[in-house]
Amino acid sequence: MKQQSNSLPSNGNPLTIPIQEMSEEQLNLLLRRDKVINVFSVIFVIMALVCLIIFLGAALDSSRPPNMAGLFIGTSIGIIIYGFLALGSIARISFLRVPTIIIFGIMLLGIPIGTILGIYGLMSFTKAQPLFGPDRIHQDEIKLEINKRKPQEVTTKSE
């Protein structure tokens, strides 16, 4: 008797397995990961905007001391990093998934919130390969396949 796995197939490229052949558990797992990636996309956009606001606030401050170069460099790097992470998460660009995983690894050092976000992000992004790239599985396809598999409810009129 073969036991159903709760994760996506690890042998080969998971994109080679058609969505119709995935179990219902695998489809639900993909759908949850897709939703988590959407939440992280919003977080990355917010972080990029926070860095931009700090950068503009420091640039417009007329009483700033002369050693503000570090702040400008740090916020510029933050804008670039979080901007690329947001772009990669929203557009599901496959080559930006690996830098996102690396950033989540670095986030583990930020105790306690960074650690929580880092662990959750690592769990979601490392196993979400079918959701990235040009041949990715879209959220609508997953929902449609789940709805196809649900038993049709038969309604009867009571007279």
φ/ψ region of 133 (left if φ > 0, alpha if ψ in -120 to 50, else beta) reads left
Full residue range of the structural domain in which residue 32 is found: 23-61+68-134
**Position of tokens 């662990």?**
119
> DSSP code of 22?
S
| Sign of the dihedral defined by the CA atoms of residues 100, 105, 109, 115, in that order | positive
Residue 12 domain flag: no
74 within 8 A of 80, measured Cβ to Cβ: no
The answer to whether residue 27 is domain-embedded is yes
Residue 2 lies in a domain: no
Q: Cα 111 to chain center, whole Å?
A: 21
Residues 93-150 have pLDDT tens digits of: 888 888 888 988 988 898 888 888 889 889 888 888 888 887 788 888 888 888 888 7
| Residue 146, domain member (yes or no) | no
Contact yes or no for 119/109 (Cβ under 8 A): no
pLDDT-derived band at 9, boundaries 50, 70, 90: very low
Answer whether residue 107 is part of any domain.
Answer: yes
Give how many domains the chain has, as a whole number.
1
Nearest in space to 129 (alpha carbons), one of 3, 6, 7:
7
pLDDT digits (tens, 9 = 90+) for 20-75: 888 888 888 888 888 888 888 888 888 888 888 888 887 777 676 666 777 778 88
In a domain, 145, yes or no: no
SS3 content of the chain, % helix, strand, coil (to 5): 70, 0, 30
Q: What is the pLDDT of residues 90-105, one digit of tens each?
A: 888 888 888 888 988 9
Whether the full predicted model's pTM is greater than 0.85, yes or no, is no
The Cα-based distances of 112 to 2, 40, 101, 118 in angstroms read: 40, 17, 18, 10
Separation of alpha carbons 43 and 38, rounded Å:
9
